[in-house]
Each structure stands twice: as structure tokens, then as C-alpha cells.
């Protein structure tokens, strides 16, 4: 199913070669091929005759059938993402990361089922569980992100799915994914993990036994803050079920957006390396400031999740948090408003740095968030880290003043 013939290629090479099957980039009648799969826009697909139309009714997912089932631009992106996850059978694309997560949960859960959801999950993921899933008769139990092998005690005969997000994208707790996956497997429970922070480049989740990964491509894969999309990548066992549900829900993506995502994907390796390096420079500087309570970054040696990060991850991205010691909301606001290199805005993973305030105490239910210092989240971009640090220094001056 993948476009690369050699499964041993390294991720940086796969990023360059992925999705560029000859039938998607060239036509022998034109005498050559183009580098990037062109944008194939389509609703209607024309058939040669009725026999052709009838035969195509049973088409596989990578043959032209009807626009909603995709065109080569869409398949090229899906294929390139599948290539990045050793052990993956296929990838499905969705209009946003939230749509990917919601569709995955809907596809894998039925009325009467029980879901174990990590307490540090992205808030709209929780909202889907508490809203639509609850309405459809699925019960959710939130669990402590640090639970590890203790997850076994929460599994009931009705538990069908354990959802993970590591690190949590607001509070950055690391999860012991192999320990949780082992307990899930032993009890026949499926695992699904939001891998947006790390991408498969830094954390090959399927290779570590996770069954389905969700990713918001809006973040690091797109990388330029100008398009939204999400993906589910799954093992051979679950892929047909997810594909069927996605077709039933009528979820499809624009080939123009896929072309933007493919463009972002080609440079993901170099961008992530720079995001990670810049993020660490800023995080280390913040750790030495008297105004800062703690820096929430698993790649820092003092972080509670550092050992797990060092064991399972091959690098870091540029998203992390820190607390402002003794600062109230007004102090945090003065700090953030004084920044100019950091834009104030949601999302992350784009080339430009962003900052948002966050309030985890309002969200958590399994384990109370007891840190009373205000929390700030930074998405560190590709600027020079010295300019970012100078900007933060101005923020601290404004906070004091
Ligand atoms: C961890 C995580 N997962 C999923 C999403 C949702 O992605 P999207 O904005 O593409 O719907 C986000 C968005 O911020 C996120 O932070």
C-alpha cells in the first residue's frame, strides 16, 4: 500500500519520496513526470461504459470512483503518511484533527462500551466524549496520565478503547505508552493515541504497539498555519473498519489542502529539528529565570516525564509550557501582551512562534491540577532563539512594571 519499495529507508528519505508513485506524477503520453502529484479536483468521475461503472462500484480506496473517495492528490498524502509509520496499513484524512479523533472514536465504539480517556487530553476530545459519545451510550472514565501499568485496574469487561495523548498538549505529562499498550493487549482492548506533538518522526507509536494514531496535520505537518486537516493511521486489523466508518460519515478533504500538506510534509524533518532546538534554548533560558515556577517540557532533565521521553522518543518538538511564579491573571496578561515575536493565537506547529494562556484546573477531573501559578503555553517557531528570548525578557519587564 505504500509508495516506497524499501521499508528500511530512513524517515527523512521517506518524507521526500512518499506519495510520488509514477501513476500519480506522470503520464507516459506526456513524455515525463512532475515532481509533485498535481492537484486533482473532482466530484464526478467519468466511466468508459456501464460495464466499467459497475466494475468500479467495488473499487479499492486508491482507484477513481467518486470525488468523496479521493483523487491521486489525496491518496499521495495518505500514502506518504502511512510510509512514516512502520506497521501501518493505511491512513484516512479528515477536514481537521478534531474530525479525525471524533470519527475514530465513533468508528471504534458502540452503545454500552466503556472508554478510558487520559485526563490530559486536548479539551475538544473530552468534549466529544462528554457530549456525543455519552448521548450514544458510551461511558468515559478519565485516568491519570501517569497511571502506566496501573491502567489494568480500570479496565472492565465493557472497556473497548484506551485513548492516550503523550505528552499532553497543554500540560505536557508523558505517558508510559508501552506499559499501557501491554495491559490493553492482554485484555483485548484497542489503543488510540493523539501523536500530534511528536509526529511519527519523533515517536513511532504503531511500532510500539498502539493500534491507531490520530494526528492534527494542521500543526507540524502543514507547518505554515494556512490549512487544516487531520489523519488516522491504523494497523491492518482496524484500517477497514475506520475506512468504512469514514465513508459512511461522508468525510472527505480538499485536494488543494492535500497539496499544501504534502508540501509541508517534505520539510517536516528539518523543521521539527529546528523547532525542537529553538524550543529547548528558550525552555532552558526560562528555567533560569526567577519569575518562572516550573517549565513543563519533557526533554528537560528535571521534568517528571524525562525518563520516559528519553526512552521512547527520538527528539522533541517546540511546544511546551511554563508557570509564572506568584503571577495572577493580570500579571500573565501584562507579560503576554508585551510580546511581539510571539503571536497570541490558538493552534501551534507553524513556522511562527505563538503564545496562549491556559487554565488546566478548569478542565481536569481524574486528578486535580493543584498548581496555582498561571500557566503559559509557547509554540516556538523557526525564528532565531536569541530574538525570542529578548522578546520574553521584555515580557518579564512588563509583568514587573
Ligand atoms: C493535541 C491536539 N490534537 C488535536 C487537535 C485538533 O486539531 P485541529 O485544530 O486540526 O482540529 C489539536 C489542536 O490544537 C491539538 O492540540
Q: Is the pLDDT of residue 4 over 70?
A: no
Q: How far is CA 371 from the centre of its chain?
A: 26
Residue 2 pLDDT class (50, 70, 90 cuts): very low
Residue 5 pLDDT class (50, 70, 90 cuts): low
Distance from Cα 401 to the centre of ligand 1, integer Å: 35
Q: What is the mean pLDDT of residues 65-83?
A: 96
Residue 62: its pLDDT value, please? 79
Task: Give, for ligand 1, the residue of 121, 169, 221 to mutate: max count of ligand atoms closer than 8 Å to Cβ.
Answer: 169
Distance from Cα 36 to the centre of ligand 1, integer Å: 27
- Supply the pTM of this predicted model: 0.97
List the residue whose alpha carbon is closest to atom 15 of ligand 1: 122
Residue 383: its pLDDT value, please? 98
CB-side neighbour CA atoms (13 Å) of 329: 2
Residue 1: its pLDDT value, please? 42
What digits encode the pLDDT tens for the residues 190-228? Answer: 999 999 999 999 999 999 999 999 999 999 999 999 999
Residue 401: its pLDDT value, please? 81
Pure H helices in 192-267: 199-202, 239-249, 255-266
Residue 27 pLDDT class (50, 70, 90 cuts): confident
Q: What is the mean pLDDT of residues 100-115?
A: 98
Residue 63: its pLDDT value, please? 87
Average pLDDT, the chain: 96
Distance from Cα 97 to the centre of ligand 1, integer Å: 5
Q: Within 6 Å (CB) of ligand 1, which residues are found? A: 96-98, 122, 165, 169, 194, 196, 216, 218, 228, 230, 347
Question: Quick one: which atom of ligand 1 is closest to the CA of 98?
Answer: 11
Task: Give, for ligand 1, the residue of 128, 219, 228, 232 to mutate: max count of ligand atoms closer than 8 Å to Cβ.
Answer: 219
CA 39/CA 261 separation, integer angstroms: 12
Cβ atoms of 96 and 261 within 8 Å: the answer is no
For the annotated catalytic residues, the residue numbers are 68, 122, 194, 219
Q: At what angle do helices 239-249 and 97-108 cross, to 10 degrees?
A: 110
Amino acid at each position: 500500500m505504500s509508495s516506497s519499495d524499501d521499508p528500511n529507508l530512513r524517515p527523512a528519505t521517506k518524507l521526500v519520496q512518499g506519495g510520488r508513485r509514477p501513476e500519480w506524477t506522470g503520464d507516459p503520453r506526456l513524455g515525463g513526470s512532475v515532481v509533485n502529484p498535481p492537484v486533482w479536483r473532482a466530484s464526478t468521475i467519468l466511466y468508459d461504459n456501464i460495464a466499467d461503472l459497475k466494475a468500479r462500484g467495488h473499487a479499492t480506496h486508491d482507484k477513481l470512483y467518486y470525488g468523496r473517495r479521493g483523487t491521486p492528490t489525496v491518496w499521495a498524502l495518505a500514502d506518504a503518511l502511512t510510509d512514516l509509520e512502520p506497521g501501518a496499513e493505511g491512513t484516512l484524512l479528515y477536514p481537521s484533527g478534531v474530525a479525525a479523533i471524533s470519527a475514530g472514536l465513533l468508528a471504534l465504539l458502540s452503545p454500552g462500551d466503556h472508554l478510558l480517556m487520559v485526563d490530559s487530553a486536548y479539551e475538544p476530545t473530552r468534549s466529544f466524549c462528554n457530549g456525543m459519545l455519552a448521548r450514544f451510550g458510551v461511558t468515559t472514565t478519565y485516568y491519570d496520565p501517569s497511571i502506566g501499568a496501573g491502567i489494568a485496574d480500570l479496565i472492565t469487561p465493557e472497556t473497548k478503547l484506551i485513548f492516550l495523548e503523550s505528552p499532553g498538549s497543554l500540560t505536557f505529562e508523558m505517558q508510559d505508552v508501552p506499559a499501557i499498550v501491554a495491559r490493553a493487549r492482554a485484555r483485548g482492548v484497542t489503543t488510540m493515541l493523539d501523536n500530534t506533538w511528536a509526529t511519527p518522526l519523533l515517536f513511532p507509536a504503531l511500532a510500539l504497539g498502539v493500534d491507531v494514531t490520530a494526528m492534527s496535520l494542521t500543526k507540524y505537518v502543514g507547518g505554515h498555519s494556512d490549512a487544516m486537516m487531520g489523519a488516522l493511521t491504523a494497523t491492518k486489523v482496524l484500517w477497514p473498519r475506520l475506512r468504512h466508518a469514514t465513508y459512511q460519515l461522508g468525510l472527505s478533504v480538499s485536494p488543494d489542502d492535500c497539496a499544501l500538506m504534502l508540501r509541508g510534509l517534505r520539510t517536516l524533518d528539518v523543521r521539527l529539528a529546528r523547532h525542537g532546538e529553538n524550543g529547548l534554548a528558550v525552555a532552558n533560558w526560562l528555567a533560569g529565570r526567577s519569575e518562572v515556577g516550573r517549565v513543563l517540557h519533557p526533554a528537560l532533565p528535571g521534568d517528571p516525564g524525562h525518563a520516559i521521553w528519553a526512552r521512547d522518543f527520538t527528539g522533541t518538538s517546540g511546544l511546551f509550557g511554563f508557570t509564572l511564579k506568584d503571577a495572577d491573571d493580570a500579571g500573565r496578561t501584562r507579560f503576554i501582551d508585551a510580546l511581539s515575536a510571539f503571536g497570541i493565537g490558538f493552534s501551534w506547529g507553524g513556522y511562527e512562534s505563538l503564545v496562549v494562556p491556559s487554565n488546566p484546573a478548569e478542565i481536569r477531573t481524574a486528578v486535580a491540577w493543584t498548581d496555582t501559578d498561571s500557566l503559559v503555553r509557547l509554540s516556538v517557531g523557526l525564528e532565531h532563539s536569541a530574538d525570542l528570548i529578548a522578546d520574553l525578557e521584555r515580557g518579564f519587564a512588563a509583568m514587573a512594571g
